[in-house]
Amino acid sequence: MRPNSEERLLQSFVAHTRQPALVQPLEQICEALVGVRRDEQMLPWAEKGLAIEPRSRTFVHARARALRLLGHHAQAAQTWIDYAALDWAPLFYLGRLGRDLYLGGNVDLAISVLHQALQQPEADTHPDKLRARKWLAEALLSTGDASGFTHWLWRNCGDSGSFRHSDVPMWNGQRDLRGERVLVTHQMGFGDQFMLFGSLRHWRAAGAEIMVTCDAAIHALIDASLPDCRVVACDRPLQIFAPCGDDLLPEIRAFAPTMQATLLHLPMLAMHDAPRPAPYFPAFLRAPAAERERAAAWAQTLRAQHPGKMLIGLFWDCAQRHESAMRSKERSWAGLRSLPVEVLERLTLDSGLENRIRFVSLHHPIAEMKSGSPRGNVAHYAPGIASFADTAACIEQLDAVLSVDSGVANLAAMTGKPTAVLVNPTGEWRWGRDSTRSPWMASAHVLRQSTMGDWNGVMDLAAHWLTQR
């Protein structure tokens, strides 16, 4: 956040109150709201601006942006359609229309529009073309179409930092990896790593010896889960094709790779397999031995205290929504994915469910202090959740998991534990578009809102899913 953004916001607001018919203060308010990372609050100011200047591309863009951040994706798409006659740069317009059509559920039209965006004359590395590729990839993947991974790979040139070891050639698509030693470098978030590392099974089956890098926070878990790979912890790269650091180079030299692949390359090896791998991302996560031993002792005690009851993990809040310094996009998306505690209490205070179920919080204690704790029938993992290795060990001892769309949902599904993922109508591509099952992970059962923000229907679905266990 720029230091003077709040001051500029106040000055712009004062200028607007003095001369409400002027466009410039409204433009400045929208700009200042972006500066203070409250983009979702632009909607009323953009609409005031459009009432004064109906052909302002600035206010059209601000309106569509605010609607998207508020979760009104179909309205955002309609905004672009309503103002299609304005003098837009075609790539800019088509990319944003396609994105909001996809998020609004009109996936087939979104795919068509985004293909049009990629046919524009700008270079493949143009930022707007890279954005269009990302959304085309995710639209395709949401339908279960693995060809989307070809477009998703372009994130290596755009919004995802990655390592590049200059002495080793990048994987060129070859299928026979016998005799090859592949350096796989990580990127993106924990949930992406939990899921995409599942593809390493295909690379091992193709004959490769593998060295994997991962974030330090998940190293113990990944190392225990990939016993036939060398797993090394290092900082996540933030720049595109960043050089490997001095701490990593000795490990790389000792491994002596013959080729390199990024995390985004991993799902492409099996993309053309016939029949397609089922599941595409096989469950592989396994907690380290010490954590598993502690979790088994805890579960034995808890089950003795609640004989005959199922143990069901709960994860209901995405911590990013509490971080004011985070960009509006990430913070708003986290808010749309999070389940309010008072809605969750429909399950935890249900006496009928309490007769058969003991819920267990899967939140880190610090995160739960921010999100709030549900009342009623909720236990906490007694050994304590201090790491993802602890979370995985706890999950292994449960009968099933209920989680909002989060890294924990990916973790639970990739342990092979039955996982009900509670999602909004947009959701992430990995949970599919309309089905109650993920097209990518066998253990993920999808419980989807019919209307953005309405979690009550999802709670009904969750209660029914639990009674069927």
pLDDT, tens only, 184-220: 999 999 999 999 999 999 999 999 999 999 999 999 9
Q: What percent of the chain has pLDDT over 90?
A: 92
pLDDT, tens only, 143-155: 999 999 999 999 9
| 35, pLDDT greater than 50 | yes
| 314, pLDDT greater than 60 | yes
β-strand partners of 444: 419
Cα angle at 234 between 229 and 238, to 5 degrees?
120
Section 297-306 average pLDDT: 98
pLDDT of residue 1: 44
Burial (Cβ within 10 Å: 0-12, 13-18, ≥19) of residue 250:
exposed
Question: How far is it, in rounded angstroms, from Cα 39 to Cα 13?
Answer: 15
| 2, pLDDT greater than 70 | no
Q: What is the CATH number of domain 5-146?
A: 1.25.40.10
pLDDT, tens only, 406-434: 999 999 999 999 999 999 999 799 999 98
Section 10-17 average pLDDT: 94
pLDDT of residue 116: 98
Section 363-371 average pLDDT: 91
Least confident of 27-31, 194-198, 254-258, 321-325: 321-325
Cis peptide before 279 (omega within 30 of 0): yes
Q: What is the CATH number of domain 181-268?
A: 3.40.50
Cα angle at 373 between 367 and 375, to 5 degrees?
170
- Could you check whether 5-146 and 289-467 share the same CATH topology? no
pLDDT, tens only, 82-115: 999 999 999 999 999 999 999 999 999 999 999 9
Q: Across all residues in the chain, what is the average pLDDT?
A: 95
pLDDT, tens only, 166-186: 889 999 999 999 999 999 999
pLDDT of residue 198: 97
Q: What own/partner pairs with CB < 8 Å and gap ≥ 24 does 13-22 have?
A: 20/48, 21/52, 22/52
289-467 topology per CATH: Rossmann fold (3.40.50)
Question: How far is it, in rounded angstroms, from Cα 115 to Cα 94?
Answer: 9
Q: Domains of the chain: which residue ranges? A: 5-146, 181-268, 289-467
Q: What is the band of 320 on the pLDDT scale with cuts at 50, 70, 90?
A: confident
Q: Do residues 419 and 412 lie in contact, with contact meaning Cβ atoms separated by under 8 Å?
A: yes
Cα angle at 264 between 258 and 270, to 5 degrees?
80
Lay out the sheet containing 378-380: strands in order across: 378-380, 357-361, 310-315, 400-404, 419-423, 444-448
Q: Tokens for 263?
A: 């995390």
Bridge pairing between strands 419-423 and 209-214 = unpaired
168: left (phi over 0), alpha (psi -120 to 50) or beta: beta
Section 58-79 average pLDDT: 97
